[in-house]
Structure 1
Amino acid sequence: MKFSEAWLRTWVDPDLDAAELAHVLTMGGLEVEALSPCAPPFDQVVVGQILTVEKHPQADRLNCLTVDVGTSEPLPIVCGAPNVAVGMKAPCALVGAVLPGDLTIKAAKVRGIESQGMMCSARELGLNEESEGLLALDAQAPVGQSLRVWLDLDDQQFTLKLTPNRADCLSMRGVAREVAALTQCSLTPPIFISREANPEFGTRTVQIDAREGCARYGGRVIHLEQPDQPTPDWMVRRLERAGLRAKALVVDVTNYVMLELGQPLHAFADAALTGNLTVRWAREGESLTVLSGQTLALTADLLVVADEAGPQALAGLMGGQNSAVSAQTQDIFLEAAWFSPGALAGRARRLGLASEAAFRFERGVDASLTQEALERATQLLLDYAGGGQAGPILDLVHPEKLPRRLPVRVRPDRVRRLLGFEVAVDTMRQILTRLGVGLEGNDVGWTATAPTWRVDLEREVDYVEEIARCVGYDQIPMQVPRAPLRAIHLPERERSRQTVAQRLQARGFQEVITYSFVPPEGEQRLAMQPSILNLLNPLSQDLAVMRSTLSVGLMETLVFNLKRKQEQVRIFEWGRCFLPARDTDGLCAQPLRLGGLWYGTRFPEQWGIESESADFFDLKGVVEELLPSGASFVSTQHPALHPGRSAEVWWNGQSIGWLGELHPRLGPSYDLSRMPLLFELEWIPLTRESWPEYGPTPRFQPVRRDLALVVEESIPAMTLWDALRAAAPKNVADILLFDVYQGAGVEEGKKSLAFCVKIQDTERSSTEGELEQICQELIGVAERRFGAVLR
């Protein structure tokens, strides 16, 4: 929501500057995303009136002007704009003026003719990116007045980042209500003068067939004497500073009333409508060409406003071209309706339409606004279109289908308990009253009824939130939490997210957050079992399915960074995946997982170490730090991973994840020069971390024995390693694999695995015979189970 500060101050004018007002709004829950000036700085630019125009004797494209700028004598100015005319009023930069781009205006001679200033276009003043000539000013502009004053160029533009529940603030009146409540200022809305209706002028017959989609429909026929009149400058400025471009008077008035009051309007060319109007659901086979030029095939879930010839508008979304108004349309049928958010939600996005009306209807519009909006628009149209007349207002209402504001019990004690600090009862009452909430009852508890424009106030906690934000989140006192300390003994502790994140961050990984809905193509490439959970109302076709793996989002993040010259990427993400398997409640399984990606070199670029790409074992080392004791790695065949550089992670007899290098065939799909390393682990096993066990400090030096065992190439080293550790006696402190060799001296089809056996007895030193016996026992296990031969 964008609006100008000057427009807001016509409704409510607190004693705060723009920056302070932005802070108050943000602390009140209406985040001010941007605060920017409506015009760049410049000075000494005034309203000038062209008195004479003569061709320059030395240049065909230049004119010699005399310009009245409110001084005793008019100024001679040379100008090349194509639209100069006698009597025209336009901006004139005086000698000494500094324009955007640090352009200083000086007295000069242009091909022999003196020029004492410069006539300006909108582009030269930084008011528009393009312009075809001088900025034409209103005939009422006072000659000699500063242009900044006349056009109110010292205004500020506010941009609010509203949450979806605050649809009431998508209008100037809604924002003004909030400012008045937050600053305790009085609200002074402009006075609307209703025009007397001509009962003989006539109206249209309308019926509502789709009551669940449209519970209120209003409209009136209006005749305009001069519909081609220009939109007044003040309205154009307010529209532009709200992010809308001025088009023609009728369209501009409907947009202005929508921004002012929050009620979208639509104008039909009355002569283009045939017979009665009906608000109904579209029928199969119907189509409509909308104002954007698109021809849409309508489906039965689209709400339309139709005449006897067929659909004339997509209700609440966009009008049709056949009944569109133009600058010459004298008779219009003006519509103001309440369309249900559920009947419109997602339709505009699905059809590829973008409209301010749809944005508001999807979030909820005040159903009581229709008649007021029609009266306000009628007043503006008749004031600026040279007069005319209006028929009576048609107002069809089905109260049972309108949203209801149910009374809610609000208890001051409950408010204090939830907020955690003291708020006076009188303060609570004043806040809720300023917000338009109706209160009945005593100070023990009130029955609160929300105003019609607050569709988000449904529960007691909603009213508690209103009190908190109006007190000011920045005014909430800091309190140190207190909790009793108890000594407890846990055989194992739960590892927190923070602990795991710190370990990854210590290895250079950064946390990312990606969408839970992903492109179907990414799922097909990277998932073990691609998701079949399609979204009914996707944001786009690239975000159409729920993810079954975190890898899709991680890969998209990698590509995004590579396009921005980030050659070393280490990222991780926590997130839920969505599996089609159903649980006992009939819902999709949503396991929480940890995923990670490593792309680039093992170490940052430096002179002392040769640059090497990170490999599978670098990632395996990172993953091992995260796993609970007893986890193991088994070679796997994952469709998205390199078949020889990937593994499955097992713990307690269950598969809890995988890791590996991306399959080379997928590299071209992401335009990669090297393959990234990926891992994904179930979160629950990662929380298990045993307490360290105490053991006596050894009094004797460890003894090392190396065993090089030749086995079949197909036997995984981990399998042999696990067997040796399981068979080792208790005085074997550790067994480590330190070399894998294939080549000269080893038979083809076999490999040599070299293990370091670390023997350390805590009670006495081991004899040579005992050491030899331990080694023979380990060799025997390898021979019997794997056919190993001591090298």
Structure 2
Amino acid sequence: MKFSENWLRQHVKVDASRDELAATLTAIGLEVEELTPLGEQLDGVVVARIVSAEKHPQADRLQVCRVDAGQGEPLQIVCGAPNAHAGLVAPLAMVGSRVGDITIKAAKLRGVESNGMLCSARELGLDSDGAGLMELPDDAPVGAPLADCLGLPDATIELKLTPNRADCFGIRGIAFDVAAACDSKVTVAEPVPMPALSDAALPVALDAGADVPRYVGRVIANLDPTCKTPLWMAERLRRSGVRPVSFLVDVTQYVMLELGQPMHAFDRDRLRGPVGVRRARAGETLKLLDGRDVTLDEGFLVVTDAGRAVALGGVMGGYDTRVTETTRSVFLEAAHFAPAAVIGRARRLGMHTDAAHRYERGVDPELPRQAIEMATRLILEIAGGVPGPVTEAVLPEHLPRPRSIVLRRARLARVLGLVVDDAEVDRILRALGFAVEAIDDGWRVTPPARRFDLAIEEDLIEEVARIHGYDRIPVTLPGGATRLAVPEEGRTPEADLRRQLVARDYLEAVNYAFIDAALLARWQADAGAVPLANPLSAELGVMRTLLLPGLVDALAGNTARQQPRVRLFEIGKVFEGRESGIGNRESGEATATAAVETSGSAPVETLRIAAVATGDARVEQWGEAAREVDFHDLKGDLESLAACAGAQLEFRPAQAAYGHPGRSAEVVRDGARVGWIGELHPRLLAALELDRRVLAFEVDLAAVQRRALPRAGALTRFPSVRRDLAFIVAQDVPWASVEASIRTAAGPLLAGLRLFDRYQGKGVESGCKSLAMGLILQDKSRTLTDHDVEDVKGRIIAVLERDHGARIRS
């Protein structure tokens, strides 16, 4: 919310300086994001009129102007502004004044004397428009100081509002908070009803139920179509970040900024009547004010004229019924649209409007009539006209009603940790516009309709705290006993896993749980993706089904910034509308409103850990030759995580859509698939515009957290025996399957198995490989004999020959 400081001070009289006012706003929860002083150095800048403008004899783009500055004899000014012409009223910086860092002096420009400087709004620091001279109204007093003419000095204040403070999207709402904080009162009275001077009216019908429970309209005829927006109104709009367009449009914008109630003006002569509000029909089209044609569905609200859609309810007016420079009769509307009926509708069309921004957060349902009366008064005072009666359609049963809330004195003191005087509590609540009734143990408070964010006692406690001053609440340590949480022995803490990866040179990343649906589709991981009913943006439209897309996107951002070696990991949840069969699931509530298309239940949440790596395997050094990170580096990192829980992982060849063929594997624990590891597919890397290899893994977190409880056992007194064997097997036979066969054949005597060599080359035929392993055999009850060892070896050889076509390497 951006507004003029002087405009706010008109509503509430306070003695605080500008800096004190900004500090007060921030202290009460209305954070001042930006404060820009205006017109601080305008001494010597006056209102002037260009009497004549002739081409400069030595320059095509310059004009020699004679300017009346109210000093009798016109001044000669050389000006290069494209809009300089005879009759224009504009600011003139006199000789000796300062404009920004420049002191104005008499000078010769291309041989012609110039005694001052005609200024643009940007040169004076009043606006960003520097395309030409700042145009002032024709009736502006020539020779008067510009500061007096524009109501300067002033400042623009921009607030960063939290979503619950929708009442502060109008100057009046902010004024109540400032009045309470500064022990003052809101001075601007409620708009005075303007009597009807004609019978001109349009009937209104509501057919959208609770979505639009109130609609107010009024016809004003015989307006002056040549009327211009007065300077004071145009300046207030500019300082609030709104560009003046035309008088009727500017009036509706002005009322919205002052009261917080969006309005719209229709050209009455383009309406047939009656006016109505209903749900849009599927496939219904509408041309909006900005000229775009939109196709609607039943999720939108439309304002209708004789059944045809003429405006998009709560978002934007229609093109066909817009007001123009020839409009002589206008139909003003102000309605209460329920937030649920408007939220997300503008974003679905790729739009953002001031009206939708306010309606989405909630607007006081009592404001529409006040807005109509205020706009009527402004129009009649400035452009004349004959007003008709106010037409109001209302569905009382659907209007939100303020509820009284009991604030207990003891509860207030307990939560805040201090005692606030009853008189101070009463003052704060009344200054905020609340109806207050004293009761035995505190107060019964009824918030105004604009404060629908207040529902429970704690809300009132927060109001008292922020106005009384957070800095006045004592800082004390919490008291009471705390319950000691016993760590779960069967589960490795997340912190341990984080430390393990950090120790292996990874950095932790935190990405949004929402992701672009197109990005998921590129990964071919969009099956079961849960779309959001109200996404923050199109790029955050669905809940992620994988951690890797976000991690790889972060990796790409780092490599694009000349980081040659990147290691990132993340622990977070993924969401699916159906089971995907990738390990154990942990159900829970979704963190955003989601439309689950695959089932009526909440999305399935799974906590996972993922990591990505690219670049050299080691940091640049002299001790060993540089080499690129490979599958086995990442496999070692994952196994180190599993080792924290004493877990044994298996790796089996797998074909994932995003994995490199032959360079990826599924991760298995206890026979269940729990994740994926490998190199990303070259086609995916090309689509992501990555020109380097990327290794990654993603596994269910529970798979590397779960650990067996330690059990004490006696040490064996009998020695172990080691036998080394080398087998030749087909190249496509994975070690995991060979290992499983050996463990099955050896039985309980196998105390350890070590693969210490894998060889291909001379002495091994093409298409085969040699696997050399060490068998460690041991019995806890006796010393093994040669016969025992040979028996185990024989069983292993027989099983490997039978299951894998292996043979002993000579």
The alignment of Structure 1 onto Structure 2 pairs a total of residues equal to: 782
Contact kept, 8 Å, 2:107 with 2:113, in 1: the verdict is yes
Match among 541, 551, 554 for residue 554 of structure 1:
551
Q: Report the 3-state secondary structure (helix = DSSP H, G, I; strand = E; otherwise coil) of the residue aligned with 2:237.
A: helix
The match for 1:207 is 205
Q: Once the 2 structures are TM-superposed, how far is the Cα of residue 38 of structure 1 from its aligned partner? A: 5.0
* Residue 392 (structure 1) aligned with residue 392 (structure 2): no
* Residue 786 (structure 1) aligned with residue 800 (structure 2): yes
Residue identity opposite 1:117 in structure 2: G
- The C-alpha deviation readout for 1:74-120, integer Å capped at 9, x for no partner, is 644322335445564422234455545x5554432223332233222
Residue identity opposite 1:617 in structure 2: H
Structure 2: how far apart are the matches of 1:504 and 1:471? 47
The match for 2:93 is 93
The match for 2:596 is none
Q: Report the 3-state secondary structure (helix = DSSP H, G, I; strand = E; otherwise coil) of the residue aligned with 1:29.
A: coil
Residue identity opposite 1:658 in structure 2: W
The match for 2:8 is 8
- The C-alpha deviation readout for 1:410-432, integer Å capped at 9, x for no partner, is 43444455x36234362554443
Q: Once the 2 structures are TM-superposed, how far is the Cα of residue 659 of structure 1 from its aligned partner? A: 1.9
Q: Once the 2 structures are TM-superposed, how far is the Cα of residue 405 of structure 1 from its aligned partner? A: 2.2
Contact kept, 8 Å, 2:746 with 2:796, in 1: the verdict is no
The match for 1:589 is 604
The match for 1:78 is 78
- The C-alpha deviation readout for 1:410-456, integer Å capped at 9, x for no partner, is 43444455x36234362554443433333445353544332200122
Match among 207, 216, 219 for residue 218 of structure 1:
216
Q: Report the 3-state secondary structure (helix = DSSP H, G, I; strand = E; otherwise coil) of the residue aligned with 1:492.
A: coil
* Residue 630 (structure 1) aligned with residue 654 (structure 2): no
The match for 1:240 is 238
**Is the deviation greater in 14-23 or in 353-362?**
14-23
Q: Once the 2 structures are TM-superposed, how far is the Cα of residue 784 of structure 1 from its aligned partner? A: 4.1
The match for 1:545 is 542
- The C-alpha deviation readout for 1:514-536, integer Å capped at 9, x for no partner, is 34343334333435672253444
The match for 1:713 is 731
Contact kept, 8 Å, 2:30 with 2:160, in 1: the verdict is yes
Structure 2: how far apart are the matches of 1:58 and 1:77? 15
Match among 391, 402, 405 for residue 399 of structure 2:
402
Match among 495, 498, 502 for residue 499 of structure 2:
502
Q: Once the 2 structures are TM-superposed, how far is the Cα of residue 747 of structure 1 from its aligned partner? A: 3.6
Structure 2: how far apart are the matches of 1:211 and 1:240? 37
* Residue 119 (structure 1) aligned with residue 110 (structure 2): no
TM alignment of 1:445-484, pairs within 5 A: 445-481=442-478
State the percentage of identical aligned residues.
43
Structure 2: how far apart are the matches of 1:521 and 1:708? 50
Structure 1: how far apart are the matches of 2:786 and 2:72? 117
* Cα separation, partners in 2 of 1:287 and 1:107, compared to 1, 3 Å: same
* Cα separation, partners in 2 of 1:351 and 1:727, compared to 1, 3 Å: same
* Residue 34 (structure 1) aligned with residue 34 (structure 2): yes
Q: Once the 2 structures are TM-superposed, how far is the Cα of residue 257 of structure 1 from its aligned partner? A: 0.2
Q: Once the 2 structures are TM-superposed, how far is the Cα of residue 250 of structure 1 from its aligned partner? A: 0.3
Stretches of structure 2 that go unaligned for 5 or more consecutive residues are 580-586, 589-599, 802-806
Residue identity opposite 1:631 in structure 2: Q
Q: Once the 2 structures are TM-superposed, how far is the Cα of residue 548 of structure 1 from its aligned partner? A: 2.0
Contact kept, 8 Å, 2:227 with 2:382, in 1: the verdict is yes
Match among 413, 417, 424 for residue 421 of structure 1:
417
Instruction: Report the TM-score, using the length of structure 1 for normalisation.
Output: 0.86
Structure 1: how far apart are the matches of 2:375 and 2:795? 93
Structure 2: how far apart are the matches of 1:603 and 1:13? 67
Q: Once the 2 structures are TM-superposed, how far is the Cα of residue 742 of structure 1 from its aligned partner? A: 1.4
The match for 1:369 is 367
* Cα separation, partners in 2 of 1:128 and 1:422, compared to 1, 3 Å: closer
* Residue 575 (structure 1) aligned with residue 572 (structure 2): yes
Contact kept, 8 Å, 1:711 with 1:786, in 2: the verdict is no
Structure 2: how far apart are the matches of 1:103 and 1:778? 96
* Residue 518 (structure 1) aligned with residue 512 (structure 2): no
The match for 1:656 is 674
Stretches of structure 1 that go unaligned for 5 or more consecutive residues are none
- The C-alpha deviation readout for 1:715-735, integer Å capped at 9, x for no partner, is 433455577789999999975
Q: Report the 3-state secondary structure (helix = DSSP H, G, I; strand = E; otherwise coil) of the residue aligned with 1:330.
A: coil
Structure 1: how far apart are the matches of 2:616 and 2:535? 37
**Is the deviation greater in 164-173 or in 741-750?**
741-750
* Cα separation, partners in 2 of 1:506 and 1:323, compared to 1, 3 Å: same
Q: Report the 3-state secondary structure (helix = DSSP H, G, I; strand = E; otherwise coil) of the residue aligned with 1:212.
A: helix
**Is the deviation greater in 371-380 or in 470-479?**
470-479
The match for 1:432 is 429
Structure 2: how far apart are the matches of 1:696 and 1:422? 62
Residue identity opposite 1:620 in structure 2: K
Structure 2: how far apart are the matches of 1:489 and 1:210? 56
* Cα separation, partners in 2 of 1:21 and 1:684, compared to 1, 3 Å: farther
Residue identity opposite 1:783 in structure 2: I
* Cα separation, partners in 2 of 1:192 and 1:445, compared to 1, 3 Å: closer
The match for 2:108 is 109
* Cα separation, partners in 2 of 1:461 and 1:128, compared to 1, 3 Å: closer
Structure 1: how far apart are the matches of 2:713 and 2:180? 67
* Cα separation, partners in 2 of 1:439 and 1:44, compared to 1, 3 Å: closer
Q: Once the 2 structures are TM-superposed, how far is the Cα of residue 230 of structure 1 from its aligned partner? A: 1.6
Residue identity opposite 1:235 in structure 2: M
Match among 290, 301, 314 for residue 316 of structure 1:
314
Residue identity opposite 1:629 in structure 2: G
Residue identity opposite 2:179 in structure 1: A
* Cα separation, partners in 2 of 1:14 and 1:686, compared to 1, 3 Å: farther
Contact kept, 8 Å, 1:46 with 1:144, in 2: the verdict is no
Structure 2: how far apart are the matches of 1:561 and 1:316? 42
- The C-alpha deviation readout for 1:155-174, integer Å capped at 9, x for no partner, is 33333232322211111111
Residue identity opposite 2:250 in structure 1: D
Contact kept, 8 Å, 1:50 with 1:65, in 2: the verdict is no
Structure 1: how far apart are the matches of 2:83 and 2:488? 87
* Cα separation, partners in 2 of 1:532 and 1:87, compared to 1, 3 Å: closer
Q: Once the 2 structures are TM-superposed, how far is the Cα of residue 589 of structure 1 from its aligned partner? A: 1.7
Q: Report the 3-state secondary structure (helix = DSSP H, G, I; strand = E; otherwise coil) of the residue aligned with 2:120.
A: coil
Residue identity opposite 1:355 in structure 2: T
Residue identity opposite 1:644 in structure 2: G
Q: Once the 2 structures are TM-superposed, how far is the Cα of residue 235 of structure 1 from its aligned partner? A: 1.6
Q: Once the 2 structures are TM-superposed, how far is the Cα of residue 543 of structure 1 from its aligned partner? A: 4.1
Q: Report the 3-state secondary structure (helix = DSSP H, G, I; strand = E; otherwise coil) of the residue aligned with 1:380.
A: helix
Contact kept, 8 Å, 2:454 with 2:460, in 1: the verdict is yes
Q: Once the 2 structures are TM-superposed, how far is the Cα of residue 145 of structure 1 from its aligned partner? A: 5.7
* Residue 289 (structure 1) aligned with residue 287 (structure 2): yes
Structure 2: how far apart are the matches of 1:508 and 1:587? 37
Structure 2: how far apart are the matches of 1:131 and 1:414? 57
* Cα separation, partners in 2 of 1:182 and 1:668, compared to 1, 3 Å: same
Structure 2: how far apart are the matches of 1:52 and 1:190? 44
Q: Report the 3-state secondary structure (helix = DSSP H, G, I; strand = E; otherwise coil) of the residue aligned with 2:91.
A: strand
Structure 1: how far apart are the matches of 2:366 and 2:82? 50
TM alignment of 1:175-194, pairs within 5 A: 175-189=174-188, 192-194=191-193
Q: Report the 3-state secondary structure (helix = DSSP H, G, I; strand = E; otherwise coil) of the residue aligned with 2:521.
A: helix
Contact kept, 8 Å, 2:53 with 2:84, in 1: the verdict is no
Contact kept, 8 Å, 2:304 with 2:310, in 1: the verdict is yes
- The C-alpha deviation readout for 1:604-636, integer Å capped at 9, x for no partner, is 456766543322222222222333222312213
Q: Once the 2 structures are TM-superposed, how far is the Cα of residue 588 of structure 1 from its aligned partner? A: 3.0
- The C-alpha deviation readout for 1:302-334, integer Å capped at 9, x for no partner, is 322222262222222222222111122111111
Contact kept, 8 Å, 2:272 with 2:306, in 1: the verdict is yes
TM alignment of 1:721-736, pairs within 5 A: 736=754
**Is the deviation greater in 671-680 or in 133-142?**
133-142
Residue identity opposite 2:398 in structure 1: K
* Residue 160 (structure 1) aligned with residue 159 (structure 2): yes
Q: Once the 2 structures are TM-superposed, how far is the Cα of residue 360 of structure 1 from its aligned partner? A: 1.4
Instruction: Report the TM-score, using the length of structure 2 for normalisation.
Output: 0.85
- The C-alpha deviation readout for 1:256-296, integer Å capped at 9, x for no partner, is 10111011111111111113222223345643222111223
Could you say what the CA RMSD is over the residues aligned between the two structures, in angstroms? 4.1
Residue identity opposite 2:452 in structure 1: V
Structure 2: how far apart are the matches of 1:429 and 1:722? 77
